[in-house]
Every structure is written in C-alpha cells, then in structure tokens.
Structure 1
Amino acid sequence: MRRLVLLTTLLTGLAQAAEPPSIDVHRDANCGCCKAWISHLQANGFQVNDHVETDMSAVKTRLGVPHSLGSCHTGVIDGKFVEGHVPAADILKLRQRPDLLGAAVPGMPMGSPGMEMNGRQDAYQVIGLGRNGQQQVLADYPGK
C-alpha cells in the first residue's frame, strides 16, 4: 500500500511539472501588440487566459503596477504582475523570485516580444518590483 501511495504521489508531481504555466492577460480589445505578445507566450509553452478589459488603468491599479512601469497590457502569474512586453523566459525567472511583486518592460520598446516590427530592436530592460518597493533590473536587452 505504501508503494502505491509513493507511486501515486510521484506520478502526480510529474504530471503537474508537465503542465504548462498558466497566465492571465488583461488587455484592450483593439491592441494588436497585446495579441502578438499573447502569441509569443503561447509559442513558449504558456497557457494564456485572455481577458479583454474596458478600463486597463483600473486593472493596473488593482494589481499594484506603478505608473512608472506601465505599458499596454498586464499579465498575472502566481499572484505577480507582468507588465508589458516581458519575454517568456523572464516570466519563468520571475516565478522563482518570492521577493518580487512583479516584473515590467515599461513602455513599448521596438523588438521586444510582440513589438517585432521592421527589424528594429531598441534597448530595453526588464524591471522587477520588490516587496520593499525597490526596483531592480532583472534583464538587460541591448538594441541593434
């Protein structure tokens, strides 16, 4: 009986590990780059729950996104905000950071996921917001 319980626990853990990460994305109905970012997430194994909103400012306020870190869409994963065009790999890293409330790519930098247009790539950073209110650079992407 004990072996059966251990085997069941092991198999359940493996099944959970294989499940794709799920993220809620809040966006305006008419935003094309938001849809492109969602495609980026899906292409990188995320299950996206798409929420079309009429008042994104209210969503950002409710989720604690500072105005200085604002962008067009806001995701939520594991209770943390993901603001703007954050690359999927950096979202996975955010999940491992209990000291952070969220991460953001402020503005809409060309070349970031969902903003790939005309081959242009601006430099941008992924900024983390700590539980203490301090901001820190989590990733630095150079321009081309």
Structure 2
Amino acid sequence: MKILLAVDGSAYTKKMLAYLATHDDLFSANNDYTVLTVQLPLPPRARAAVGKEIVDSYYADEAEKVMAPVSKFLTRHGIIAKSVLKVGPAGETIAKMADAGKFDLLVMGSHGHGALGNLVMGSVATQVLAHSKVPLLLVR
C-alpha cells in the first residue's frame, strides 16, 4: 500500500504516529511511505527583502524541525520513508500531493498548529477532505 503521512510537528502528529505503531496492517515495511510537511509561504515582501537563498534555507530548517522526530520514529520501527517539503496553503497542498502521487491512503492528525485560526478559516483536515479523492484516515 502506498501511504502519505502529512505531518506538522503538533501533538496530533505524535498521536498519529502512535496510532500507526499499534496497527500492523498500516505500519509495516511492506508499505511504501512518504512523509509530507507543508510550510506556509512567507509574505512576498519578506521573500523579496531577504532573497531566495535565505527563504529556501528558512523553509528547509522549519521542515527539518518537523521531519527529524518523525524520521527518527519511523527508522526506529524499521520503516524507510521518503520526505517531501512543499510550500503553500496546507490543506490544498496536501490534497494535491495525495491525488498527484496516486496514494492509497492519506494519514494525518485531526488538528494541527493553527487551532484558533481553524475556527474562522476551516481546518486543514476539512480542506483536505474537500479537495482530495484519496481515502483519509484522521487520528484524533
């Protein structure tokens, strides 16, 4: 099975990984895993002021903060996963990656870092549900 794990470093990412670890059918070396983290784009004026190299370095550093513990967890359980960093609106970007990559399953936490903003704008999980045709497992 080809599985996309959408992670943001929140407590719900940890809950999602703990859930996977207890379900052998979802969590085995027989599956093909890709771990995705999405960074929100910096404002255009900020990007222009600091330059492409610094912006790219910032995105890479932020992604590493999220990905390092996830990679360590997966490696400890004998899982080798591809890591992908995307920049854009989280819900739409996750949905596009899931559809374009022809994944069999998308797994993510039900909530992430922007809980207060989600009250007004709608959650990332809701956006993924609205935009993706890939089956979604939300871990709460």
Normalising TM by the smaller chain, what interval? 0.3 to 0.5
**Relative CO higher for 1 or 2, CA cutoff 8 Å, sep ≥ 6?**
2
TM-score of the two chains, using structure 2 as the length reference:
0.34
Higher-Rg member (1/2) = 1
